[in-house]
Amino acid sequence: MALYSDKVMDHFMNPRNVGEIPDADGVGEVGNPVCGDMMTFYIKVRNNRLEDVKFKTFGCGAAIAVSSMVSEMAKGKTLDEAMKITNESVAEELGGLPKNKMHCSNLGADALQAAIENYRSKKAGAPVKAGAAHDHGDACTCPFCDSELAGEDAPICRSCGVSFQNCPACGKLVSSKDKSCPHCGAERPGKG
């Protein structure tokens, strides 16, 4: 049996709605700091409907496919309908996801919902949330070998030996394989 469905592979190889909306009505960013998946959704709202949805994702193939599918599922829906998109409905639309990649579907639905909440907060004149890290604990997998990661303070992959630590420049997690931070470009001490 194939690891990913044909639909997952199609959305990974040909993602829909990639990019930014410069004058977005709402922006939602979520990420899992351990495995490094980061998703940002941008929405344009007209008459309480999602007129346009775009995304930028840094992550594995499943994360990209999930972002693409969520954007397709949300476009044209009312805000309330889009808020009902769940990780289960995303995975189902994609023809299933491996158990160790289900956290990606959570991130996609959460990023869309964060963008809608951001829009609603702006419209209500309330303080605007900037986005949040998404903690899935032991559901996170190594981006190098897809094995489950262990360790809370300094995650390490027991399969391939990669460890993760905070970048001194930006504070985001980098792997022991990185010569520089993939987030801010800062060179890691001793890796030059």
Catalytic residue list contains 184 = no
Side-chain-facing half-sphere of 66: CA atoms under 13 Å: 34
Q: What is the pLDDT of residue 15?
A: 93
> Is 145 marked active-site?
no
Q: Quick check: 150 and 158 in contact, CB under 8 A?
A: yes
Specify the pLDDT at position 137.
41
What structural domains does the chain harbor? 6-133 (3.90.1010.10)
CA-closest candidate to residue 66, choices 16, 133, 132, 19: 16
pLDDT of residue 168: 75
Average pLDDT value for residue range 70-88? 94
CA distance 173 to 33: 6
- Residue 183 is predicted with a pLDDT of 62
> From CA 85, how far away is CA 74, in angstroms rounded?
8
Where do we find the tokens 């070998």? 145
Which is higher by pLDDT, 30 or 145? 30
Residue, of 157 and 129, whose pLDDT is higher: 157
Query: Which one is catalytic: 60, 104, 157, 167?
Result: 104
The stretch 164-169 carries a mean pLDDT of 71
What is the reported pLDDT for 51?
97
Catalytic residue among 35, 60, 157, 167: 35
